[in-house]
Chains A and B, each alone.
Chain A
Amino acid sequence: MRTAVDVLMVGVGGQGTVMASDILAEAALAEGFDVKKSDALGMSQRGGSVVSQVRLGTKIFSPMVKKGEADILLGFEKLEAARWAGHLRSHGLAIINDQAIPPFSVSSGSEKYPPDELVLDLLHRKTERVFFVQGMALAQEAGTTKALNAAMLGFLSVLIDVINKGAWLESLTRALPARLLDLNLVAFEMGRQAAEAARKPLERGT
């Protein structure tokens, strides 16, 4: 019997991944869950991979999501989502921002960015429930691409049904500076609408 919801958030330094995971963790805490979270810190701001792990449930021991046990993979970037696909549990939920940020080895021409087919294939080995989100477009429409994480959280909030919308909004309000709040709330709402529209699992490109 599962007693925890395990969420893995992955992205690239600068995308707001850690802040998004903080907002989820605080919202879960407000809903009365025991929460533990772990961030890969240190070198992330230099454009490296970022991994945040959030576990919520009645009683949590390990602060780390076990490989093959993540219920949800929230990918802010496709290569990172592909890299962590193996951490999903079977039939877990993958929510992927449809954005590619090439690492240095790709931009210098010595390696190739994985094609969408490979990204999808890696995810499909674990689950058929893969959602691609036009996160950058949603955030841009809300006013700034910096609101990407709010849009992604909006999408997540519809599909993670143990946290009420009120707790999400409170957590967003606490985490964001007042001058950026409205914009992020718009992005969050747009993410929610996108999720409502996409509730039926989409498999882009197949």
Chain B
Amino acid sequence: MKRFGANTANDDVSLKVMPGEIHALLGENGAGKSTLVKILYGALQPNEGEILWKGQPVVIGSPAEARALGIGMVFQHFSLFEALTVAENIALALPKDADRRGLSATIARVSRDYGLPLDPTSRIADLSVGERQRVEIVRCLLQNPQLVIMDEPTSVLTPQEADQLFETLKRLASEGCAILYISHRLEEVRAICHHATIMRRAKVVAETDPTTETVGTLARLMVGNEVDAVTRTKGVPGAPRLTLAGLDMPALGAFGVPLRAIDLEVRAGEIVAIAGVAGNGQSELFDAVSGERTGRDGAVVIDGRPVGHQGVNERRRLGAAFVPEERLGHGAVPALKLSENVVLTRHGTGEGIASGGFTRFGLAGRIVEAVTKRFDVRKGPADPEARALSGGNLQKFVVGREVDRTPGVLVVAQPTWGVDAGAAAVIRQALIDLARSGSAVLVISQDLDEIFEIADRIAVISRGHLSVPKAAEAMTREEIGLLMAGGAEKR
């Protein structure tokens, strides 16, 4: 049991993982999975209860003690040191007396054995996300773990990279290693896990064999009630409202991605989704469309008006709205109230929030109320600071704030990133309804399930190239996977 102040994050949780088993831990955001994992890895101490390791009660006081016991962890947000080499990163996680001279050879051998090719001398900053995860896994394997904890390992991988990871996991399990696998993705849990423990609101609500369940039954166990299915009516696309024509943008900084000759048309009434693995130019594309970076005038056209070298406010005034990926710090100012955050995206749109140098906070407050009601934003006080909201609730607010304007063009990055299934359905439905009311919606997302659920047409971005968008019905996951891996460049 673990309590944080008045909140109980883990309440009388029992979990048993057997050797050679891939055990899934399922639950929505905030269900208590991360807390449980942190306790197992020694980063947090339980208030009550005990941990039995190979039948013996143990106290895991620190991550180092966990590693000494044989518990390894692959983190969701990588815990790598970007300025250091692969070998140095791995050395840091090994015990003090480990042999550093032979390390490079050991890394090369283990990475080859498990099909995870790595060069020990390369710097982390130069590696792709998939390669970084390999470093994490190899680092974990070198400690000869008997239990490996993986926190959402596939959320950053292409489908092909994920398949490769599953092979590695199956091989590990066949050697007798236990694997605790945390994921939102029910399909892959069904495909590779032998056993599943499902948590909801800090409690274990079910234990099951995922291979005998369907995605639907697993989702019901996680959420506790039927998730409203998103209803998608067939839309009739009208005239183009957002057009990108030969959009080029040089890379910004050493790790930026240049945009190369991007052509795209988003018509009234449709949702176009851009799939791709993180870091392939999505943020650059968002900046170029939103006007955070400007360029040639004709490269971006909104409702027939070339706006390529106009800024964010000019584009908003033409009826466009933008929801960036990073909600805290980019989509909302953490220390400002929600109403003040409303003013920040509406002050220049001519809706009367700001006029004559004065701000009408009453109106902003009413907008907060309307968004709160429509998107079920849960918050304590009526108008709290943005940072006081949980990630999912803030996401609902940030998306809701723009949808509430009924913009003619909506560009949204990762619309449901980090929100639970119920709220995700609300947001997706809102995007569909907005499109059907005659707006053009461009969604940049890494979640293929989401893309297939809402998109009318799908394009894939890879290293700054955008593939030709195709009707969603004509696209398969395999095709998208190939395009993600660079197929978009060969056209």
Is B one of A's binding partners? Answer: no
Chain B interface (Cβ within 8 Å of chain A)? Answer: none
